[in-house]
Structure 1
């Protein structure tokens, strides 16, 4: 059996691999780690040629692109009831949107708020912001803009596209928190620009509100102006102390420790809209799936995916990789971790959406942000253009 992965060396999976081999005498498992920037292309080329691995790592937004290359895991191995009991709801959204389960997660990461404790202390801020309204207030207190409009001290890496790591994920988060319904799969159209009735708010356009909220941080005419395209890349700016807050995933904890060991930073839950009872977080994670190429090995491959994501192996994986857990029965175990606890708890309330091609949509969303910031278009026009482009994408790539 052949397994392809990203990020992880074989040593990370060794315990589970050895146990599985012992359970199936004579089985040989070949594991190939591929650099993340080469992985998708090599996978596509190999599967298209009728070759490739039996088991693959799959990113949580990939299923719409690769469903025809993968096999649903048999009900005898894991049922939808089991999936719902063992994993957060978003796993069903991503890996079993129509009932058939195509993958199981190795971990589950979410966007959280990184903040500079020294800057907060100097500004008299005793805790991180809990709501976006508080976040805006903090930005006003921390930012320093001179008479010419030059940013002397940025409060947060927010508002632009290209120099903010995961900028489009942040915008996705804001839209989902605002209540946007991103797409209508049945009609094959994007709907994130539609007006919706939101309980307690009436008829609003949540997509427009989210885009405006985000881009205001890069608008010199707004009171929350704190970032522009001239700033360093967001991760670099944060570890250098040039910006006080950054939104990102857990894997950059080690980046910060490596780049600036003395940086005094904290990690907090992502802010939520004021007076909103339902928490909404945004995920990014990888799971294991079985390809159609597996053939006679399929049943063994299904068993392998289930085995590697059971409680014991998931806990070992989390310990070795220092990633947030995906299983519900491990959240309590990790929740007290001073760095990862925030991320594992947020996984329980993560929400994603069905993206026909996540890379193309990422580009569309980045262009939407730049349409406002660089081209000076009204947010409503930028939103409408992006919505139309995603609709065209959905219709073009449908069978």
Structure 2
């Protein structure tokens, strides 16, 4: 591991340096912060542990106890700890939980602690991750969307010299690849009954110009929302989507693609580095990445906002120390150093040759996709809406239920959610 630079060159860096004086007295009696992160995707556990050791080295007397859980367990762990009134000081939270956590006071309002100068320096989509009702409940940390990964060799063997620009073109290329017998199922997705499926579905909703809600009422059963699910089901019927996608999460997708068993995959940033790691992949040097496709006449590319933030838990008695830790992890210097599995929230990083080195293609895709990330509904009741939609998607993909019937049933249920 390279040594972390102790000089931070952004507004948060200045905040951190000025905070050192206030933290110095803690040396007499060590203070321990409890922080919860997720196990998979984005920064690795080793990365987080390394960042934390360097933070502790610069903050004598402050220790951080780390807990890592699967993404699928993260929400409920935070809620359970908050209900008990103790537990975590720092929590990693998904963009779709911000409204709920803010309304239920599970996170502290940190608007005043964030330097005003940082507003223009960070992507708007990143700020939306931690913002509710005009207040910021922490700092964005993982700025992410799903990209289209493709196997350059398989496309070349099928006669294609470019990745698909539209979802229709992707289906056509997949059919050609299948017809040549290059792989049995050219496309792999994460459609398990989990938030992963909603993220894939949202990418397509964005491409088709759909909406989840209109005037506060469900609208995903109409227009682009319906077309998105019809595309998903149609790709299964056509035999171009791996049917196991209906039970896959993102790591399953990564492994199938990295084994050379798929020509196309929709996945998060972290897969680019891992699919090019000879210890993890058989397709090193063959990995292409592009923004997810668009739909002719409706969009040029598509992107879901899959970002996550770091916030101070509402029950924490160590607000100042906890936010100093968050400020360090989200600083430009630290994010630039660990930019191989998760790209920085800072706009300037994308023009830094050191950040782009070895992942120029990913950076180029990010510059196009990140400014157009499409949000899932930012509502306090999102978890219930998501569960309803997950069931509808599974019903359409596993049974004879039509996408229209599945989504209309889900819309009727969602209309009763408060």
Class of the TM-score when normalised by the shorter of the 2 chains: 0.7 to 0.9
* Shift in alpha-carbon separation, 1:94–1:39, aligned structure 2, 3 A: closer
* Alignment of 1:10 onto 2:31: no
The unaligned stretches of length 5 or more in structure 1 are: 195-204
Distance in 1, Cα, partners of 2:229 & 2:69: 33
Partner residue in 2 for 1:74: 111
Give yes or no for contact 1:219–1:373 (8 Å, CA) kept in 2.
Answer: no
Partner residue in 1 for 2:235: 217
Distance in 2, Cα, partners of 1:165 & 1:291: 23
Aligned residue runs from structure 1 range 1-399, under 5 A: 2-6=33-37, 7=39, 8=45, 9-19=48-58, 21=59, 27-36=61-70, 38-67=73-102, 68=104, 69-79=106-116, 82-83=118-119, 85-144=120-179, 153-157=184-188, 161-162=191-192, 166-184=196-214, 187=216, 189-194=217-222, 205-220=223-238, 225-227=239-241, 229=243, 233=248, 234-256=253-275, 257=277, 258-263=279-284, 264-276=286-298, 279-295=301-317, 297-318=318-339, 322-333=341-352, 334-335=355-356, 337-338=359-360, 340-342=362-364, 344-345=366-367, 346-353=369-376, 354-356=378-380, 360-393=384-417, 395=418
* Shift in alpha-carbon separation, 1:280–1:271, aligned structure 2, 3 A: closer
TM-score w.r.t. length of structure 2: 0.76
* Shift in alpha-carbon separation, 1:267–1:213, aligned structure 2, 3 A: same
1:343 CA drift (Å): 5.6
* Shift in alpha-carbon separation, 1:35–1:142, aligned structure 2, 3 A: same
Give yes or no for contact 2:204–2:302 (8 Å, CA) kept in 1.
Answer: no
Partner residue in 1 for 2:20: none
Partner residue in 2 for 1:198: none
TM-score w.r.t. length of structure 1: 0.79
Which stretch of structure 1 is more off in the superposition, 379-388 or 275-284?
275-284
Give yes or no for contact 1:163–1:229 (8 Å, CA) kept in 2.
Answer: no
How many residues align structurally? 363
Please, what is the CA RMSD of the aligned residues? 3.1
1:64 CA drift (Å): 2.7
Distance in 2, Cα, partners of 1:309 & 1:167: 28
Give yes or no for contact 1:144–1:154 (8 Å, CA) kept in 2.
Answer: no
SS in structure 2 of the partner of residue 106 of structure 1: strand
Distance in 1, Cα, partners of 2:335 & 2:121: 12
Give yes or no for contact 2:206–2:302 (8 Å, CA) kept in 1.
Answer: yes
Give yes or no for contact 1:364–1:390 (8 Å, CA) kept in 2.
Answer: yes
Distance in 2, Cα, partners of 1:132 & 1:30: 45
Give yes or no for contact 1:145–1:153 (8 Å, CA) kept in 2.
Answer: no
* Shift in alpha-carbon separation, 1:289–1:138, aligned structure 2, 3 A: same
Distance in 2, Cα, partners of 1:145 & 1:126: 16
Give yes or no for contact 2:158–2:180 (8 Å, CA) kept in 1.
Answer: no
Distance in 2, Cα, partners of 1:76 & 1:130: 42
Distance in 2, Cα, partners of 1:107 & 1:343: 16
Distance in 2, Cα, partners of 1:155 & 1:228: 7
SS in structure 2 of the partner of residue 246 of structure 1: strand
* Shift in alpha-carbon separation, 1:140–1:119, aligned structure 2, 3 A: same
